[in-house]
Amino acid sequence: MKKNILVVGSVALDSVETIHGRTNKSLGGSAVHFSLSASHFAPVRIVGVVGRDFPKPFRTLLKRRNIDLEGMQIMPGKTFHWKGRYDRDFKNATTIATQLNVFEQFKPKLSGVHSKCGVLFLANIDPDLQWDVLKQMDRPRLVACDTMNYWISLKNASLKRLLSKVNLFFVNEEEARQLTKEYNLITAAKKLMRIGPQAVVIKRGDSGSILFYGKEVLAMPAHPVEKVVDPTGAGDTFAGGFMGYLAAAPDWRNCATLKRAMAYGTVLSSFSVENFSVRRTEKLSNPEIALRYLDYTRSLAVS
């Protein structure tokens, strides 16, 4: 169970509009994007909740990637639904509607199998729930979490309590600034590491990401994509590739390992933005990933 990844987060139906088209109630949610990405590296188990309207083909799609859905509870009511629109620059999504539905009652309860997973990813949910989940775990070897601006404002103390107990924190640059009140990302990351995490990954969208680990500061660019169709879930797909690689690695506390993890995260997220919802990632093959990983890491190698 050491390599098993448990992800706790949202399973959603997304209606998204971008300059390249739109989708209606397509498969989404942080746990979904994360799982599809991580499943290329290690066994993944989702803990989440859906309504009775959750389409059977979406379950099939996840199962086809060997993602365990035992912890994906079905509740009376409707699945979490998000409707949003992106501008041409894909920087900010305008939320048209958020219907929490069954997600509002989400109270994750872990089974024995779940609690014994070696790797835990706490996707962006209420930090009190993230904390609850963490408390139910049986000595995981690696714990990571994500969050969002909403929790930074509304549950700051809960979030900081959580951060004091995680190994790895994934955070957007704006959120890192909001949380630390520091504009400079190095200064911000140092402050975050003082709260607890041994490593911080600042996600910067098409500007790439920066990994902070001990005294190391490692910036990586995004893999340039010519046609960005839908950036929804790119951050969770990034975390999925990153955590998936770490779960499969013998020891994550190693700079070279963390760098490879970041490169895989970058590669996986570059695929995810190429089509709506999970259309690109659901069918991704390992050779496709390996090839782009090689392209990407070669392009960074300065000889």
Give residue 270's identity as a one-letter amino acid code: S
> Closer CB to a copy of itself, residue 149 or residue 164?
149
- State which of residues 75, 221, 279, 283 lies at the interface with a copy of itself (CB under 8 A): 221
Strand partners, 15: 83
Tokens of 49: 């909740």
The kind and range of the H/E element at 51 are: strand 44-51
**Interface residue with a copy of itself, options 116, 141, 259, 279 (CB under 8 A):** 259
Complex with a copy of itself: residue 190 or 283, whichever CB lies closer: 190
Q: How many residues bind a copy of itself (CB under 8 A)?
A: 35
Site membership for a copy of itself, residue 260 (CB under 8 A): yes
Q: Are 288 and 53 in contact (CB under 8 A)?
A: no
Q: How far is the CB of 17 from a copy of itself (least distance, A)?
A: 16
Tell me the backbone φ, ψ of residue 51, rounded to 5 degrees.
-90, 180
Residue 215 within binding range of a copy of itself, rule CB under 8 A: no
Residue 104 sits at φ, ψ, to 5 deg, of: -65, -30
220 binds a copy of itself (CB under 8 A): yes
Query: Any contact of residue 263 with a copy of itself (CB under 8 A)?
Result: yes
Site for a copy of itself in 141-200 (CB under 8 A): 183-187
Q: How many CA atoms lie within 13 A of 254 on its CB side?
A: 11
DSSP letter (8 states) at residue 185: H
The β-bridge partners of 94 are: 85
Write out the residues near a copy of itself by the rule CB under 8 A. Answer: 88-89, 183-187, 204, 206-208, 210, 216-228, 256, 259-260, 263, 297, 299-303
